[in-house]
Structures are given as structure tokens and as C-alpha cells.
């Protein structure tokens, strides 16, 4: 059977033009997706856990969904301050149920934002977000800047769908005329196709952004001959390219958010874009990784007022990144149970955090065995959104997209499992 206009549930591009062929319950062909999306869709049906698993005297055993749900509700109810973490590779509907449950439990809910684009959000909260949709970029932008990211490998269709290789409705010869500037600490594959490649010394992004702001403002006299390894000559050239563009779009990744300067780097980038808007139209968009990490920020914000790291232990929503973020809470051993949903902290968190996760009762909701599995006491397999579950996801530019289902493998969705746990918790807290 052929399924057209399917959505890829891998990265924040949420490509919506996939053609998927299935035979029975197997995916046999995926057209239009990049290697990352194609690999996920071709393999996500093959390596699933068959049923929930629980630890019993140090060994794994199969469990029923009812038993696993009962156990999860029990550990969350017994905890003084449970941590509900992850939420980036699941549906908006599951994220909403998670927020309601965290509030009822007096726990902390955090998404993977806190270890990727959290600093971008802090900067946006301070100085605003001069953003636009990817459609606007595709159809209007004649200058693209990628700063601290490598879309060729991390978002492989970003350039072909929205920027360098895409047609533009309002551009006569987009493919040939659109200029590309890459800023990075090393020359990646993306850097090798740039009109201007700016190689910044590690930790030098803030200084380079400041120099560009000064030049755009007309104060090139304060810029020294080199800034963080970049010559003044190149900075003058790049500033001129930006000012001459009719529509510029700056995309940035964790190379900017997680390098020295962190949220101040992003704030400086936003202020450079602000400065450029005195001359032309310029926008800025974070390149978001997990396909619905943006959705977690949207859902958390419209339900609590805060985009991630929301702590309900004071009976009201409280937000203080650095204090209420998952890594900090785990490192300080400030939670006494954890529910991990659709993320893999076992692959990314510091050792100290993982040690605490293994010391407390932790449940993982994830379709497959991951690096987090060995750390938990129970794992509940669910359907993969975009494959055997439908739901809402937000693209990296904040556009909500209905992610469709094209298979039925008999697994419950994340939303169904979280809702059932929430109902059990509610029965006890509000009988
Ligand atoms: Fe999927 Fe991202 Fe590749 Fe598009 S660019 S096909 S969303 S992994």
C-alpha cells in the first residue's frame, strides 16, 4: 500500500512530502526522506519491545500494560518530588497530559530543551524573537546564514527544502543567486559550499557577533584587525553582504547555544538581526533537533506560562533554569522518582545524573530498548508517532503539523499510556 504526504518524525524540519510503501505491517520503501528519516521509518517497526518489562530481583521479566501502569502511578504517588523528563519525540497531546500530571503530583516537568536550545529561549525571553516561517525563508530569502550548526548532517533536507537548493517564489533565480554564509569553529561539509566561510576560534562567537554589530552600526573603527581568528576584512565583507540582501535568514544550532557565552551568544545574534533590520529584512530561527521539541515548549508555555523546567513543588508553576532543569535536579539528587518519556538521557546526561536515576525508581516510556533502559526499573513500549500513532507536532518555525499514522502494530500511543497513569494518580489524589 502506498501512503502519500506522510510526515517524517525525526528532526525539526518535519518534512511533509514523504511517500511510504508498506506490505502488511512492514515498511518496504520510503521516498523523499533523507538517510536519517528513512532509517527511522524503515527500522522503527523492527526493533520494538514486545511488551512492558520490569526488574524482578535484578532480572528483567515481561509485564502486562496494567501492571506497568499501576507500578508507574505508584512510584510517582509515593514520591515527594518526581521528575517527568523528555517529551521531545512524542505528540503534543502526550505532552499536555504530562503537564497536568506533573501539576497534580507537585513534581518537575522538563524537556530536552534544557540540554539543547534552552539558552535560545532565555535570550528570546530577554530581547524577543525576530522569526518567520520556513515558507517565508524559502520564497523570499536571498541570503542564508548558518551559525554553529551543520544542517548537511543534522537536518539533511533543510537546505534542499527551504534554503540553498530550494526554489523561491519571489526570487527569479534562487538556486544561483542565493548567497550562503557559514560560521563555525571547523570547516564541515556545509562550510565547503559557502560563499563565505567564517572560521571562529572556539568560544569566540560572542566577540564576532559584537564586531559585526559594530560594523553594521557604522563603528568599524572600534573593530581590531582580527576578532577570534576572523580578519576585519572578512567581517567587513560579510556585514556588507548582510546589508545588501533583500531578505536574510540566520539559522543557528547548539554550536552557538552550548559554547562559552551560551544565552548571551544568542542574545547578541538577535541584536545583530535587530541591527540589520534597520537596513533590510532579516530573521533568526533556532535549528531544533528532535521533531517535536518545539512542541514541548509550546505546550508547556500555554499550560503553565513557562517553556521547560517547570517545577510544581511549591503548588504553583515555578521556572528557574539552572535550578529546575533535569540535569541540575538529578545532579543534586533532588528528585525521588522519575518518569522518562520519549528521550534517552542514558546517552546524553552526565554520569552523576545517571547514577541518581539508577538509585531512584525510574520508568521509561519508549518503543525500543535504548541506552536509558539499563538504568530503569520498568519500561513501557508505545507506538511511534508518525508511524503507528498520529498526533500534533510543531516544526522548528513554530508551525503545528498533524503527524499521520500509516500502520497499526497494536501498541498504545504515548498519550494513551500517560493518560492512564494520570487517571490512576487522579483516583488517589482526587478520589
Ligand atoms: Fe526527516 Fe529531518 Fe530528514 Fe526531513 S530533514 S526527512 S524531517 S530527518
What are the per-10-residue average pLDDT scores of the chain (431 residues)? 96 97 94 96 89 93 97 98 97 98 98 93 95 96 96 94 93 90 91 92 97 97 97 98 97 94 96 97 96 97 97 96 97 97 96 97 97 97 96 97 95 98 94 74
For residues 308 and 189, what is the distance between their CA atoms, to the nearest angstrom? 33
Would you list the domain boundaries of the chain?
49-115+291-429, 118-286
Of 5, 40, 10, 42, the residue nearest 23 (C-alpha): 42
Give yes or no for a contact between 154 and 253, defined as CB atoms under 8 angstroms apart.
Answer: yes
Atom of ligand 1 nearest to the CA of 156: 5
Is residue 273 within 8 A of residue 284, CB to CB? The reply is yes
Instruction: Output the pLDDT for position 175.
Output: 84
Are 337 and 352 contacting, i.e. CB atoms less than 8 angstroms apart? no
Count of other CB atoms within 10 angstroms of residue 149: 25
Among the four given CATH numbers 2.40.50.140, 3.40.50.10540, 3.40.50.740, 3.40.50.2300, the one describing domain 49-115+291-429: 3.40.50.740
* Cα distances (angstroms) measured from residue 348 to each of 116, 362, 364, 386: 11, 17, 15, 24
Give the pLDDT confidence score for residue 45 in this predicted structure.
Answer: 81
- pLDDT of res. 174: 87
Q: 3-class DSSP state for residue 188?
A: coil
| pLDDT value at residue 176 | 85
In whole angstroms, give the CA distance from residue 311 to residue 316. 8
CA distance 326 to 88: 14
Residue nearest ligand 1's atom 6 by CA: 33
User: Per DSSP, which regions of 105-213 are E strands?
Assistant: 108-111, 143-147, 179-184, 196-199
36 alpha carbon – ligand 1 mean position (Å): 7
Q: Is the ipTM of this complex over 0.95?
A: yes
Distances (CA, A) of 369 to 50, 150, 169, 312, 365: 10, 28, 45, 30, 10
Query: From the CB of 7, is ligand 1 less than 6 Å away?
Result: no
> Residue 428: what pLDDT?
93
Buried b (16+ CB within 10 A) or exposed e, 150-177: bbbebbbbbbebbbbebebeebeebeee
Ligand 1 centroid from CA 39, angstroms: 10
Please give the Cα distance from 134 to 12 (Å, whole number).
11
Backbone angles phi, psi at 74, to 5 degrees: -60, -45
Which residue owns the Cα nearest ligand 1 atom 3?
34
CATH code of the region 118-286: 3.40.228.10
Taking every pair of Cα atoms in the chain, the longest distance, rounded to a whole number of angstroms, is 71
- Does the C-beta of 162 come closer than 6 Å to ligand 1? no
Q: What is the 381 CA–ligand 1 centroid distance (Å)?
A: 24
CA of 157 relative to ligand 1 center, distance in Å: 6
Amino acid at each position: 500500500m502506498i501512503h502519500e504526504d506522510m510526515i517524517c518524525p525525526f528532526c525539526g524540519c518535519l518534512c511533509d512530502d514523504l511517500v511510504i510503501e508498506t506490505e502488511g505491517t512492514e515498511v518496504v520503501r520510503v521516498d523523499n526522506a533523507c538517510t536519517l528519516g528513512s532509517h527511522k521509518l524503515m527500522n522503527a517497526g523492527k526493533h520494538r519491545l514486545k511488551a512492558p518489562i520490569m526488574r524482578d530481583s535484578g532480572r528483567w521479566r515481561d509485564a502486562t500494560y496494567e501492571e506497568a501502569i499501576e507500578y508507574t502511578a505508584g512510584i510517582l504517588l509515593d514520591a515527594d518530588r518526581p521528575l517527568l523528563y523528555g517529551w521531545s519525540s512524542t505528540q503534543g497531546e502526550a505532552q499536555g497530559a504530562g503537564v497536568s500530571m506533573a501539576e497534580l503530583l507537585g513534581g518537575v516537568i522538563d524537556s530536552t530543551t534544557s540540554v539543547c536550545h534552552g539558552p535560545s529561549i532565555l535570550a528570546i525571553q530577554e530581547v524577543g524573537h525576530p522569526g518567520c516561517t520556513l515558507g517565508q525563508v524559502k520564497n523570499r530569502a536571498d541570503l542564508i546564514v548558518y551559525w554553529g550548526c551543520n544542517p548537511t548532517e543534522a537536518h539533511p533536507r533543510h537546505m534542499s527544502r527551504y534554503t540553498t537548493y530550494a526554489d523561491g517564489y519571489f526570487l527569479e533565480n534562487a538556486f544561483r543567486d542565493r548567497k550562503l554564509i557559514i560560521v563555525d569553529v571547523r570547516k564541515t561539509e556545509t562550510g565547503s559550499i559557502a560563499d563565505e566561510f567564517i572560521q571562529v576560534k572556539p568560544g569566540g562567537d560572542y566577540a564576532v557577533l559584537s564586531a559585526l554589530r559594530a560594523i553594521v552600526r557604522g563603528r568599524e573603527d572600534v573593530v581590531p584587525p582580527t576578532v577570534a581568528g576572523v580578519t576585519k576584512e572578512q567581517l567587513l565583507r560579510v556585514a556588507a553582504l548582510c546589508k545588501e540582501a533583500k531578505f536574510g535568514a540566520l539559522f543557528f544550532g547548539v554550536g552557538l547555544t552550548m559554547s562559552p557565552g551560551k544565552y548571551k551568544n544568542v542574545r547578541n545574534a538577535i541584536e545583530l538581526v535587530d541591527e540589520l533590520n534597520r537596513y533590510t529584512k532579516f530573521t533568526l530561527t533556532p535549528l531544533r533537533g528532535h521533531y517535536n521539541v518545539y512542541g514541548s515548549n509550546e505546550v508547556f508555555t500555554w499550560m503553565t506560562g513557562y517553556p521547560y523546567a517547570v517545577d510544581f513543588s511549591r503548588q504553583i508553576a515555578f521556572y528557574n533554569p539552572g535550578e529546575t532543569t533535569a540535569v541540575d535536579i538529578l545532579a543534586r539528587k533532588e528528585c525521588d522518582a522519575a518518569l522518562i518519556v520519549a528521550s534517552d538521557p542514558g546517552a546524553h546526561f552526565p554520569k552523576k545524573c545517571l547514577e541518581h536515576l539508577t538509585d531512584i525508581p525510574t520508568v521509561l516510556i519508549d518503543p525500543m530498548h535504548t541506552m536509558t533502559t539499563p538504568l530503569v526499573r520498568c519500561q513501557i513500549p508505545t507506538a511511534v508517532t508518525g508511524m503507528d500513532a498520529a498526533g500534533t507536532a510543531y516544526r522548528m518555525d513554530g508551525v503545528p503539523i498533524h503527524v499521520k499514522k500509516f500502520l497499526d502494530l497494536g501498541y498504545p500511543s504515548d498519550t494513551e499510556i500517560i493518560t492512564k497513569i494520570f487517571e490512576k494518580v487522579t483516583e488517589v489524589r482526587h478520589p
